[in-house]
Amino acid sequence: MLTVESLKKSYDETAGRKAGRHDDTRTYAVGGVDFEVHDGELFTLLGPSGCGKTTTLRSIAGLERPTSGRVTLGGRVLFDAAQGVNMRASRRGFGMVFQSYAIWPHMSVFKNVSFPLEVMPRAKRPGRKEIEERVGQVLDVTELGSYASRPATKLSGGQQQRLALARALVTHPELMLLDEPLSNLDAKLRETMRFELKRLQRELHLTAIYVTHDQSEALVMSSRIAVMNQGRIEQIGKPREIYTKPATRFVAEFIGTSNFLEGTVASVHGQEVQVDTEHGRLVAHEVDKAPAVGESVLVSIRPECVDLSRQPRGNVPNEWSGKVLTRAFMGDVVDHIVGVGKLEIRNRSNPNLSIPPGTEVHFSIAPDKVTLVPVD
């Protein structure tokens, strides 16, 4: 299990000696990050570019020296600013896939993969035969078996990506670090590689930290996701939690699309929370922790949770009516934008529902799909 505790990284070298002092005015690329990665988990750091996810990953890798904090793996301390411990990247024994793949152009495919085995400490270094076997295995797993003798630069983008993966896998590392490994591939290939990677991770029971800015990639592949923004973690949770229960406005906005309404808590009865918005009252089921009466909240409703119908159903909670403003057909789904006064609500449905603009419609939202996000 990897533990990261209050990790901070600043590139502001001039104030290097001010760490931990009150007059610490530096700007942080990573401003205090805590998380754990469990064995066999694919843990994703998700966020927009510049949010500090790559810096966090590189700090774990040992390629970057954090300004403060602590990183441990199992019982091993990899980094501890307070004790002045900073294990070299080469001693941490991780596998890493770089965004640019960082394939060595002067080596063949085979040599690229055998390199990590060849540079092992003499005591642990496998023999020539075993190296060949292990490289063969990992090349087969990544479907590069027939390219072994080719110069690495003669591979296609997807093959180079798999080669980078093979190189990271060949030592059976305790932890795999993947820095946007799919971002340089075309859309179709990216889709295939997602499942491919996930399959490998499951089959080999790999523990991995995956960095991406692509939310759908994160949702598909991750065991858990940490959403990062401006050097801090906004929320950690399983993909479904992150999606359905965004903890902050940033998470709700960054992950998927959402309808947002501002409101005030009117009453709380057990799990049932009544929220007054400008456009009417909504009922929400809040399982974790109910807000207090009078508190301002942000209501987030996913478009696919908006049930649209031509006729009012009556007797369902949160049923509103409005007029279809636009309709957008997107193949597997269709979106309707419904105007309720000044408010526009996006609905996403199965494409066999199709209502022309200008039609009066009704829609409802199940209370457990109404997400209340605290306003800070």
Residue 241 binds other proteins (CB under 8 A): no
Of the listed pieces 66-74, 96-104, 302-310, 333-341, which binds other proteins according to CB under 8 A?
96-104
By CB under 8 A, tell whether 116 contacts other proteins.
yes
* Position 187, amino acid: A
Phi/psi for 272 (5° steps) reads -90, 120
Closest distance between other proteins and the C-beta of residue 32, in Å? 21
Least separation in angstroms between CB 202 and other proteins: 23
Nearer to other proteins among residue 105 and residue 294 (C-beta): 105
Residues 123, 124, 126: CA angle, nearest 5 degrees: 115
Which CB sits closer to other proteins, 175 or 334?
175
Say whether residue 84 binds other proteins (CB under 8 A). Answer: no
Q: Which stretch binds other proteins (CB under 8 A): 90-98, 207-215, 249-257, 265-273?
A: 90-98
Span of 62-70, 185-193, 228-236, 275-283 interacting with other proteins by CB under 8 A:
62-70
Asked if residue 362 lies in contact with residue 313, where contact means CB atoms within 8 angstroms, the answer is: yes
Residue 182 to residues 160, 178, 229, 319, Cα–Cα distance (Å): 11, 9, 21, 42
- Binding residues for other proteins, rule CB under 8 A, total 32
Tell me which of 6, 90, 267, 271 binds other proteins, using CB under 8 A.
Answer: 90
Task: Tell me which residues in 118-137 interact with other proteins (CB under 8 A).
Answer: 119-120
Q: Which of 207, 94, 202 is nearest to 141 (CA)?
A: 202
Report, in Å, the least distance between residue 91 CB and other proteins. 8
Minimum gap (Å) between residue 48 Cβ and other proteins: 18
Name the one residue in this structure whose structure tokens are 């490289």. 135
**Nearest to other proteins of 62, 256 (CB atom):** 62
96 binds other proteins, rule: CB under 8 A: yes
52 DSSP 8-state letter? S
CB of 155 to other proteins, least distance (A): 11
- Coil, helix or strand at residue 74: coil
Q: What is the dihedral of CA 187, 188, 192, 194, to 10 degrees?
A: 10
Contacting other proteins (CB under 8 A), which of 70, 167, 213, 245? 167
Q: Is 105 in the site for other proteins (CB under 8 A)?
A: yes
Q: How far is the CB of 21 from other proteins (least distance, A)?
A: 22
Interstrand relation of 296-301 and 280-285 (parallel, antiparallel or unpaired): unpaired
> Which residue number, 99 or 248, has a Cβ lying nearer to other proteins?
99
CB atoms within 10 A of CB 140: 13
CA distances (Å), origin 133, targets 127, 137, 141, 168, 173: 10, 6, 12, 16, 17
Residue for token digits 């610490």? 24
Q: Does 158 bind other proteins (CB under 8 A)?
A: no
- Terminus-to-terminus CA distance in the chain, angstroms? 32
| Residue 181 found at the interface with other proteins (CB under 8 A) | no
**How many angstroms separate the CA atoms of 116 and 133, rounded?**
14
Return the amino acid letter for 196: E
> Do residues 175 and 73 touch, judged by C-beta distance below 8 A?
yes
Q: Does 65 bind other proteins (CB under 8 A)?
A: yes
Residues that bind other proteins (CB under 8 A): 61-65, 86, 88-91, 93-96, 98-100, 102, 104-106, 115-116, 119-120, 151, 153, 164, 167-168, 171, 177
